[in-house]
Amino acid sequence: MTDTNKNIAKSPSRKKKFRDTTVTLAHGSGGQAMRDLIDDIFVGSFGNPAMADLEDGVSFPIQSLAQLGDRLTFTTDSFVVDPLFFPGGDIGTLAVNGTVNDLAVSGATPLYLSCSVIVEEGLAVDSLRKVAASIQQAAEAANVQIVTGDTKVVPKGSADKLFLNTAGIGMVREGINVKSDRLQPGDAILVNGPLGDHGTAILIARGELALDTNVASDCQPLHGLVDIIINACPQVKAMRDATRGGVATVLNEFATASGVGIRLQESQVPIREEVKGVCEILGFDPLYLANEGKLVVAVPQEAAETVLAAMQSHPAGQESKIIGEVVEAAAGVVWMQTGFGSERVVDMLVGEQLPRIC
Amino acid sequence: MKYIDEFRDPQKAQAVLQQIKKFSRKLDRSAQNPLKIMEVCGGHTHSIFKYGLETILPDNIELVHGPGCPVCVMPRGRLDDAIALAEMPNVIFTTYGDAMRVPGTKKSLLEAKADGADIRMVYSPLDALQIAKENPQQEVIFFGLGFETTAPSTALTILQAEREKVPNFSVFSNHVLVVPALQALLDNGELQLDGFIGPGHVSMVIGTEPYQFICDRYQKPVVVSGFEPLDILQSVWMLLQQMVSHRVEVENQYQRIVKPQGNPVAIDAMEKVFVPRESFEWRGLGEIPQSGFQLADAYSHFDAEVKFAVPHYQSQDHKACQCGKILQGILKPTDCKVFGTACTPSNPLGACMVSSEGACAAYYKYHRLSAAS
């Protein structure tokens, strides 16, 4: 064997140290640079045997899934938040919790997630590393595994820094049927805490407003809270996490799908003083601001207090409130009774909220 | 927020409401022939609907929503001009958010942005000036909108641009003036109003004295009002007290903010930078003399209409659209033939349906509840 051949024989076992500081198009080329990036940033962070194989697909034994429920739930969501890092979280925590929560409010136990990454050329590798670490931490906190993924790098200007897509599967327990068309007059509407924190945190983090508040995103997994709700009330009617469009959008979707009216009590709707203040300045309505750790749940009236107590016993639901009830009148309409006896419609938002001139 | 909460206290609101009910019974008015009070300012319209105030007033008192939404009163041609400016090469066009969705003849600023124009939403003209300083190779145009409420901040920004010698900044001024608009409304023979809730923010700048002519010449009472629900309810009560005791005065409910002489610094900045236009077109009200601001000659180098070739589009409103009469309080939104059918918040024909301060958009929401319940 010549010396050269010895060197060739050694090379595959030598792990190349990933030293690049900026993501370039080479990292999306499918070649060695991409392999090094994936090995170091993603496989290294996620530490998951299913992913370490880097096969094109991942398989699960059906029998072990079937022990957890009688239906499989599958969901996907994409995350394009700006800025990538904000008080209370980052795009990575959003991507995991968003999909975990979509599964949870469908009544499913979240199990496995995919995570696809679209990186704009020029992103700092440290930012990507930080996001990957957040993804792993959030997955551990939500008790799910990231089992597959994909990485693309696009030329500068073709995307805004970093986009993530997560898809997830979970299993729904037998007998649980959570759907937005099941509301009936008399049902109670609950939320698990103050509304609009995430939307406010993002507005402030963008730095366009020169406002200084300490509002942090409420980004958190909700599967534990959902478990408690379902255990307290297996007859739970509908559940939805109130992300983009806020609680107002969720309630309008419930009212339309079920053909009922929903009457809210303004005095019972929890909103932080800081969030109210920002909304006053901008002319926004906190009911439409995004949340990343809040759910709306409809339960039969007789179970309302039991569910409320159960929710308040969980860390993600300590500030839960019963905010309204389902009524027969005004089918498809959500409205709010104000503190001094007047009523106002809480309609579906047209487009995004825009600040008013005066 | 404690300061604000005081003006949303349910118990105090109930007490004021009881007084309103008591005084309303002393008026010779029925639900069929209600007392008509116009709130001139779009901010009041917004609050009235946000807090559902119309639903708790006695049925012989009707609130009429006036032409105080600067987005609503802008003629379509001016919006088309704004879009033409925004679509020029090498331009960054900056605007307050609520002008983004208003439909021009062919598109809105939001659609022009989607088509590739560099249009950015700002919260203050100072933000626009900052963008100009950061982008010296591009022309930055600020869409100057609003009544005397926002005109001072545009004026102060132009003074700052002059001090800092920012050559690539200009303003497309569509600032309008409240007093000439009130004058035009009062001179309309069709109008049947009994009193006015005066604009709080405008009055903070111009004071209360400019409204005296409404009492003197037209014998209508005016109460300048704040924007919280209790402010508005108290202003209605104050108007009723005047009517019951046959007084016709300008009163100031918003004393914590509004001084009779206004804000001299703001007035001074406006007078330096702006001069009244000979005439300005208002959507629905037509041409009103001396009702708009253009930049004074000394600052014409910051005037987008001088600096660039503005097309000066002329565009008629949709034939079926009754925005004009609605803005004057002659018709209710629900009287318009296209209200809620061809014209909805998702597909607005007129600006009253677009802006959150627009009477039609507000009515559309409220109407859905009253129609369904």
DSSP string of B51-66, one letter each residue: TTGGGTS-TTEEEEE-
Measured distance CA(B44)–CA(A65) in Å, rounded: 58
ipTM: 0.83
Asked whether the beta carbons of B325 and B318 are under 8 A apart, the reply is no
The answer to whether A314 contacts chain B (CB < 8 Å) is no
Q: What is the longest distance spanned by two Cα atoms in chain B?
A: 66
Please indicate whether, in this complex, the C-beta atoms of B123 and A356 are within 8 angstroms of each other.
no
The answer to whether B148 contacts chain A (CB < 8 Å) is no
Measured distance CA(B260)–CA(B246) in Å, rounded: 23
Structure tokens at A284: 């926004």
Of A261, A351, A357, the CB nearest to B71: A357
**pLDDT mean values, one per 10 residues, chain B (373 residues):** 69 92 94 93 87 91 88 90 98 93 89 96 94 98 95 97 98 96 89 92 95 96 94 96 97 94 95 97 89 98 97 86 83 90 85 78 76 58
Please indicate whether, in this complex, the C-beta atoms of B70 and A339 are within 8 angstroms of each other.
no
Give the chain B residue whose CA is nearest to the CA of A272: B1
Please indicate whether, in this complex, the C-beta atoms of A347 and B56 are within 8 angstroms of each other.
no
Q: Name the B residues in 183-212 with CB < 8 Å from any A CB.
A: 201
Please indicate whether, in this complex, the C-beta atoms of A282 and B43 are within 8 angstroms of each other.
no
Is residue A122 packed enough to be buried (19+ CB in 10 Å), middle (13-18) or exposed (0-12)? middle
DSSP state of A42: I
Tens of pLDDT, residues B263-321: 999 999 999 999 999 999 998 788 999 999 999 999 999 999 999 999 999 988 778 88
Chain A residues closer than 8 Å to B41 by CB: 358
Pairing of strands A188-191, A295-299: antiparallel
pLDDT of residue B142: 98
pLDDT of residue A8: 44
Chain A and chain B share a number of CB contacts under 8 A equal to: 111
CA B334 to chain centre: 21
The answer to whether A340 contacts chain B (CB < 8 Å) is yes
Closest-CA distance of chain A to residue B231, Å:
14
Q: What residues pair up with B224 in beta bridges, in sequence order?
A: B198, B252
The answer to whether A159 contacts chain B (CB < 8 Å) is no
End-to-end CA distance of chain A: 83
Tens of pLDDT, residues A212-249: 788 999 999 999 999 999 999 999 999 999 999 999 99
Measured distance CA(A247)–CA(A271) in Å, rounded: 12
The answer to whether A207 contacts chain B (CB < 8 Å) is no
Closest-CA distance of chain B to residue A178, Å:
27
The answer to whether B369 contacts chain A (CB < 8 Å) is yes
Closest-CA distance of chain A to residue B28, Å:
25
Give the predicted TM-score (pTM) of the model: 0.87
